[in-house]
Amino acid sequence: MNPIEGLFTGLYALIMKVNETLIPAPIYKQVSTQLGIMVGITAILIFGPATMLFLTWMERKVVARMQKRYGPNRVGIFGSLQPFADGIKMFVKEDIIPKAADPLLHSLAPMLVVIPAVMLFSVLPFGKDMLLVNLNVATIFIMSISSIETIAILMAGWSSHNTYSLISSLRGAAQVISYEIPMGFSMVVVLMMSGSMSTLEIVKSQEAGWYIFTPWGLLGFLIFFISGVAEVNRSPFDMPEAESELIAGFHTEYSGMKFGLFYMAEFLGAFAIAAFATTFFLGGWLGPAFLPSWVWFMLKSYAIIFVIFWFRGTLPRFRVDLMLNFCWKYLVPMSLLNIVLAAAWYYLPPGPIQWGVGWLVGGGIILGAHQALTYHRVKRLYAAYDRPGVSAHPSP
């Protein structure tokens, strides 16, 4: 076994051993479980902000390179201390609450939006024996906790007493609620094949092969990933935060550390989507033994995060009606068809028939959705520009 494999589990055991030495034996026996959970919670509370700081630096450097810029390069080596400088700026900036705003809800919204993003890490298996809580209903917990974001977005927009913020929060709520549907359906195929809702059991069920290498797993991964990007308001689905159209979205009236909490929730949400996509479809921590399990997990997760940043550097923003049409008219039907495909895969005899029928049907679903999207797009273009006797720029 790689000696680095047990780095964090060994550190946890050392902390618990120190507590056992300092606390009387009868008391320690009663509170050892609670102490273990507190140590895990502390680790998550440290990991969350540290991840957010690194992701802010990584995104700015990655997008800058894609756009032939340098990105942060003044504070620290390669600009590595720029996130800390930005954090100091957030702390010292004045906290301004509009006179007409609801002060209580205005202050609660940024706290409420970051709590679910941190709580999701409690059921995330970062590596072998690196899971805080092994819930047998972890997938239901994930969907229910992530839904709290909708309440926080609406609370931020309504309490600001700003029309732009309110409109943006309504758009954001509609987007989150809509894309939760195909995301949930994409997780159903994983539950069907693993036979469990526990994230730990889902990872173990992929020891014979990662789900992404099956037709239903590939399709489920694409749907889960796209829906997750939309749910955390990342490009090209960042209409609720469209700076050019809506000033700054539902957090227009926020400044200082309150704005920083919204910023943190977005990056932690992006990491959570990448991490759960890794857990459900890429085998979690599973990988060759020459690297520790937690290293494999991080490598897979950050590869997906790189694609999310790649989206921001290359893709234009969706219009809000097209964004919702894409969800309800394409992703939802594809996710339902994928459930049927997974059921057929389960009952087909293993071997060439299973793989042949699976890839034929799965490829047909993906190709059909692509052709439907292309047909409607080309039809609109032809209707506007290429029909005889119809001007591309009709006079008013």
Domain presence at residue 265: yes
Output the CA–CA distances (angstroms, integers) from residue 18 to 21, 281, 358, 363, in the order listed.
5, 38, 54, 56
pLDDT in tens, 171-205: 888 889 999 999 999 999 999 999 999 999 999 99
- The arithmetic mean of pLDDT across residues 281-294, rounded, is 91
Does the global pTM surpass 0.85?
A: yes
Q: What are phi and psi of 73, to 5 degrees?
A: -150, 20
Domain presence at residue 214: yes
* Domain region containing 246: 7-319
pLDDT in tens, 345-355: 888 888 888 88
| 29-33, 46-50, 145-149: range with highest mean pLDDT | 46-50
Task: For residue 202, give every residue at least 6 positions away whose Cβ sits within 8 Å of its Cβ, in sequence order, or none.
Answer: 190, 191, 194, 196, 279, 280, 284
Number of domains in the chain: 1
Q: What is the pLDDT of residue 250?
A: 84
Q: What are phi and psi of 118, to 5 degrees?
A: -80, -40
Task: For residue 64, give every residue at least 6 positions away whose Cβ sits within 8 Å of its Cβ, in sequence order, or none.
Answer: 70, 71
Residue 373's CB: how many other CB atoms inside 10 A?
A: 14
**Nearest 10 degrees: Cα torsion 171, 176, 179, 185:** -150
Domain presence at residue 393: no
pLDDT in tens, 333-342: 889 999 999 9
Residue in the block written with tokens 């994230």: 199
Domain presence at residue 194: yes
Task: For residue 162, give every residue at least 6 positions away whose Cβ sits within 8 Å of its Cβ, in sequence order, or none.
Answer: 98, 252, 253
- The arithmetic mean of pLDDT across residues 368-379, rounded, is 69
Domain presence at residue 244: yes
Domain presence at residue 56: yes
381: pLDDT confidence band, cut at 50, 70 and 90?
Answer: low
Domain presence at residue 106: yes
Domain presence at residue 209: yes
